Amino acid sequence: METISFKSAVAANWLRMSGTSSQGLGGNKTMPAEIDSRSAKLAASIEPPVVLLVEDNQINQVVALEFLAVMGLRSRLAKNGLEALASAKASPPDLVLMDIQMPGMDGLECTRQLREMQRNGQLPAFPILALTAHALESDIAASMAAGMDEHLTKPLDFVALRSRLGRWLALPGLKS
């Protein structure tokens, strides 16, 4: 699956759900021009938070990216720890969702390196949430010891993810 085409689909879906414009997106209601114009100006003036998803499994990528889009968040994808480090250096995210087991550099080592860069002033502080199928107490302890702020288990549940992200980010369209 091409990430670019997926991102386009998610963007179109977000526009449809947010109501910023229903013309040309298959909506059956047309919004008055004044409301549509105000919504577009408001949407352009407020940048939603950016979540860096670090995940190697394509199915988990699709699910997580769609959940983030439905919440109105912008997202970037890194498929392993090395890509995550490069992405965070290039443009620091507001939050990282970090898989633990990935090829190359795993999520624990990536988190340790991100935290080191933050301590050295190379990156601003941002929360890192573990995203893994491993839910034993020893797994949670390993995540926390590496510097993660929370530990979420897969498979992802939309309501649980939204609740956890709401602790760390201002979610567009949701009251905090």
Give pLDDT tens digits for 35-63: 454 554 454 457 899 999 999 999 999 99
Which SS3 state, helix, strand or coil, does residue 23 take?
coil
Residue 110: how many CB atoms within 10 A of its CB?
28
Check whether residue 41 and residue 53 sit in a common domain: no
For the entire predicted model, the pTM comes to 0.74
Question: Is 89's pLDDT higher than 90?
Answer: yes
Mean pLDDT of the 111-121 span:
98
Please state, in angstroms and rounded to a whole number, the distance separating the CA atoms of residues 167 and 148: 14
Same domain, 18 and 57: no
- Residue 28, pLDDT > 70, answer no
Q: Across-strand partners of 98?
A: 54, 130
Look at residues 58, 23, 56 and name the one whose alpha carbon lies nearest to residue 39. Answer: 23
**Percent of the residues in the chain that have a pLDDT greater than 90, as a whole number:** 64
Are residues 28 and 53 part of one domain?
no
Both 124 and 97 in one domain: the answer is yes
Give the pLDDT score at 54: 98
Q: What is the pLDDT of residue 2?
A: 35
- 38 and 70 share a domain? no
Q: Does the pLDDT value for residue 145 go beyond 90?
A: yes
Single-letter amino acid, residue 59: I
pLDDT category at 136 given cuts 50, 70, 90 is confident
Q: Is the pLDDT of residue 26 over 60?
A: no
Q: Are residues 23 and 52 in the same domain?
A: no
The mean pLDDT value for 69-98 works out to 97
Domain match, 55 and 13 both: no
Q: Is residue 34 part of a domain?
A: yes
Number of domains making up the chain: 2
Task: Specify whether 9 is located in the same domain as 90.
Answer: no
Q: Is residue 97 part of a domain?
A: yes
In the predicted model, what is the mean pLDDT of residues 72-80?
96
Across 160-176, average pLDDT: 83
| Residue 125 shares a structural domain with residue 57 | yes
Q: How confident is residue 6, by pLDDT bands cut at 50, 70 and 90?
A: very low
Which domain does 21 fall in, by range? 1-46
Contacts of residue 122, defined as CB under 8 A and 6 or more positions apart, other chains included, come to 89
- Whether 90 and 31 map to the same domain: the answer is no
With a pLDDT cut of 70, the percent of the chain lying above it is 72
In this structure, is residue 176 part of a structural domain?
no
Report the candidate in 98, 102, 133, 93 with the shortest Cα–Cα distance to residue 112.
98
Starting from the edge strand earliest in sequence, which strands make up the sheet with 150-153, in order? 74-78, 50-54, 95-99, 128-132, 150-153
Q: What is the distance between the alpha carbons of residues 99 and 154, in angstroms, rounded to a whole number?
A: 10
Whether residue 72 lies inside any domain: the answer is yes
**pLDDT tens for each residue of 91-113:** 999 999 999 999 999 999 999 99
Would 174 be classed as within a structural domain?
no
Does some domain include residue 20? yes
Residue 84 is part of a domain; what is its CATH number?
3.40.50.2300
* Count of CB atoms situated within 10 Å of the CB of 2: 7
CB environment 117-141: b (16+ within 10 A), e (fewer): bbeeeebeebbbbbbbeeeeeebbe
